[in-house]
Structure 1
Amino acid sequence: MRPHCVESPVREGLEFQSPLAWLVAPLPSCPDILWPLSLGRSFPSNYWDKFVKRKVLDKHGDICGREQIAELLGMDLSMLEITAHSERKPEPPPGLLTWLMSIGVKYQIWKFGVIFTDNSFLNLGWYMVMSLLGQYNNFFFAAHLLDIAMGVKTLRTILSSVTHDGKQLVMTVGLLAVVLYLYTVVAFDFFRKLYNKSEDEDEPDMKCDDMMTCYLFHMYVGVRAGGGIGDEIEDPAGDEYELYRVVFKITFFFFVIVILLAIIQGLIIDAFGELRDQQQQVRDDMETKCSICGISIGSDDFDMTPHGFETHTLEEHNLANYMSLMSGRCTKRDVGISSLLVIVSASSMRTSLAETPTAGPSLPLQMPYA
């Protein structure tokens, strides 16, 4: 279902554009990840139904040429009676390359990319892997307790706060890693002897003998220490480089602990607050605003009508009736539909919003579509 949900807006966008543009550049409104859909011939040829193909052919055939559009759409010219006497093109010889071209490699790559980056698929895949590992060790079954966090909406919001500003969070963590490396270079060159964690003078335990060990020590000890790396190395009192060591420790504490770690924590906390405010705004809008026309419960329009907001949302602009109307537009064909559905379908084909209700009470819509 996930690829279909992503394909639908792309298909509708391509349907209203000239088919010649499909082979030139992707639509400006499409994200970069959708480039196989707008550039590959296999998408409209193999994955559009005959009704969509017929509408595109009728819409753009006179402008771009019916034969060329029919070829792009993979439609049989003889069935459409475009050229009754034209010779069919010879079929390409069977082979691996022909088979790859026929299945649409670009589209398949895009489709699997959408599937394997979907959160629901990743969660189910995680549970399946833990179930398989649990056959060898029962402790892996404990990972299924994480499903509690996915089943409770409040807990999902908390988890989403970590990934909401994911790009900024990753960039900040990257900056933290770079700053730690700079301090590692300074410590390795000038303060290497201070990183002896052994209590026995005969057997020193040096944590900065090489760059990798020194960097890891700053990463997992210096960052976790409340006062920075200064809490883990010797006191600089009485040392000939006392001033430089004090500057090294204070700047590490200021830049790493006070600034960078605070920024990381602030990003997560702010994201959680933003998501919570968005959910609260949605709940308020559902209770105080009509989802069809946008009129609010305190609007002056209700002063001129003998009914209130509840009557408006239940009778005039009933959300279930509008959803049924739009569902009927998508599922019903040209036979057996009402005149109102014909008008709405024609308006949507022109990408027009003329039939969309504007703010204010309008004519009631009480049509039980099946």
Structure 2
Amino acid sequence: VSFVGNRGTFIRGYKAMIMDVEFLYHVGYIVTSVLGLFVHELFYSILLFDLIYREETLFNVIKSVTRNGRSILLTALLALILVYLFSIVGFLFLKDDFILEVDRLPDSKAKGCHPCSSEFFVMVWYLSPLCALAFFAFGFPSGAPETVTDQWERACDTLLMCIVTVLNHGLRNGGGVGDILRKPSKDESLFPARVVYDLLFFFIVIIIVLNLIFGVIIDTFADLRSEKQKKEEILKTTCFICGLERDKFDNKTVSFEEHIKYEHNMWNYLYFIVLVRVKNKTDYTGPESYVAQMIKVRNLDWFPRMRAMSLVSNEGEGEQNEIRNLQDKLNTTMKLVSHLTSQLNELKEQVPNALKQE
């Protein structure tokens, strides 16, 4: 209630209330707390995300993903298209190479292929041709087929399973989908195709596409950090009220720190705005009426932009000093002219006397 009242939500209308992001955030905060109280304690853990909202550095980590979300989504779409193409190639030509090791649950009802079936024989042949020949010649040992079939299963019998396998294992392995496929022999006819398939997936999907996504996120985070540092630098070297920089107060009677603390203290301006808002209009003075009207129309011309009283007074004092210096120089020059004039008159008087004597 204090947040809503201070934000003025009650007097802005329902539309402005619904469009206010911070108001919706606090409503969601309350709903989550109620769900944790009456439904399940798990909802309380969601409240830990409030730390991200309050800490600017963590919030920038989230913004690094959401700020260029369109670029990231389009790059991810490109990755899905490539995974789909590689899945089709695997389903059409490399279906028998998708044999994965699995750990079945003890009570799992999934059964492997029959020990005497051709599928089991092909599977064992790919795993170990020597064992397959031994099983074919001497028969299967007791319990061996079930153990082998329980540990391995085919993962590309359908196109959907191929897509899921390539998407799940291909993107999570550092070497791509080739890390989880069967290791082929160099004598097989499809050995060159497997090498090309594995290398293309590694270079195109793992190195290029995924690093494109990571690069966008990292560059966005670096930009956000640079913007934050720039804002902090501006706040440290520029007056928030008038916009004058620190170097304007060099060699002046008032320092920059004194200026932002006493002359243009931004909190004093905030207190004055609050005073104008809560004060009765009939009690306004002339300046207060002017400022109230400017605030109403969201006009900031009443702020002293690029000027300060201390600089104006210093400029005035400098002009006065220059005038005094010019006056002193003028007086000195007039005295010198008077002295030269007197000497010239004496010379004029001496010249006729000298001529008479000659």
TM-score normalised to structure 2 length: 0.61
Correspondences of 1:83-94 after superposition (within 5 Å):
none
Residues 1:286 and 2:235 aligned together: yes
CA 1:316–1:151 in 2, change beyond 3 Å: closer, same or farther?
closer
SS at match of 2:204: helix
2:210 aligned partner, one-letter code = L
Choose from 185, 190, 194 the match for 2:93: 190
Whole-Å separation in 2 of the counterparts to 1:151 and 1:217? 40
Larger radius of gyration between Structure 1 and Structure 2: 2
Q: Does 1:230 align with 2:178?
A: yes
* Deviation of 1:337 (Å): 1.3
Contact 1:3 1:111 in 2 (8 A): no
> Aligned in 2, Cα 1:158/1:116: closer, same or farther, shift over 3 Å?
closer
What is the aligned partner in structure 1 of residue 258 from structure 2? Answer: 311
Among the aligned pairs, what percent are the same residue? 25
Partner residue of 1:327 out of 251, 269, 274: 274
State the 1:304 CA deviation. Answer: 6.7
Partner of 1:265: 214
Tell me the CA shift for residue 128 of structure 1.
Answer: 4.2
User: Per chain length, whose mean CA-contact separation is higher, i.e. which structure has more relative contact order (CA < 8 Å, sep 6+)?
Assistant: 2
CA change 1:309–1:5 in 2 (3 A) is same
> Are 1:115 and 1:121, in contact at CA under 8 Å, matched by a contact in 2?
no
SS in 2 for 1:294: coil
Q: Report the counterpart of residue 342 of structure 1 in structure 2.
A: 289
For 1:231, the aligned partner's letter is: D
Counterpart CA distance in 1 for 2:218 and 2:35 is 32
- Give the unaligned 5+ runs of structure 2: 103-122, 125-144, 312-358
The code of the aligned residue for 2:286 comes to: S
Q: Distance in 2 between matches of 1:177 and 1:3?
A: 48
Amino acid at match of 1:207: A
Render the CA deviation track for 1:48-86: whole Å, top value 9, x for unaligned.
Answer: 7xxxxxxxxxxxxxxxxxxxxxxxxxxxxxxxxxxxxxx
TM-aligned CA deviation for residue 268 of structure 1: 2.5
| Corresponding position: 1:255 with 2:158 | no
Gaps of 5+ in 1: 9-45, 49-106, 365-370
Aligned-residue CA RMSD (Å): 3.6
Residue pairs, 1:28-67, within 5 angstroms: none
1:361 matched residue in structure 2: 308
**Is the contact made by 2:91 and 2:162 (CA closer than 8 Å) also made in structure 1?**
yes
Larger fraction in helix: 2
Query: Shift of residue 194 of structure 1?
Result: 1.1
1:5-26 CA-partner distances (Å, limit 9, x unpaired): 6989xxxxxxxxxxxxxxxxxx
Opposite residue 361 of structure 1, the aligned amino acid is A
SS in 2 for 1:345: helix
1:129 aligns with 2:35: yes
What secondary structure, in the 3-state scheme, does the structure 1 residue paired with 2:99 have?
coil
User: Distance between the aligned counterparts of 1:275 and 1:330, measured in 2?
Assistant: 35
Structure 1 residues 164, 2: closer, same or farther in 2, change over 3 A?
farther
Tell me how far 1:165 sits from its aligned partner. 2.8
- The counterpart of 1:243, out of the listed 174, 192, 211, is 192
Matching of residue 155 in structure 1 with residue 58 in structure 2: yes
Within 2, Cα distance between the matches of 1:264 and 1:119? 29
Q: 2:254 touches 2:310 (CA, 8 Å); kept in 1?
A: no
Structure 1 counterpart of 2:253, one-letter code: P
Aligned to 1:103: none
Distance of 1:239 and 1:304 partners within structure 2: 85
Q: Whole-Å Cα distance in 1 between the matches of residues 21 and 51 of structure 2?
A: 23
Residue in 2 aligned with 1:216? 164
Q: Please point out which of 60, 79, 96 is paired with 1:176.
A: 79
How far apart are 1:292 and its partner, in Å? 0.9
Q: Between Structure 1 and Structure 2, how many residues are aligned?
A: 263
Q: Distance in 1 between matches of 2:30 and 2:295?
A: 37
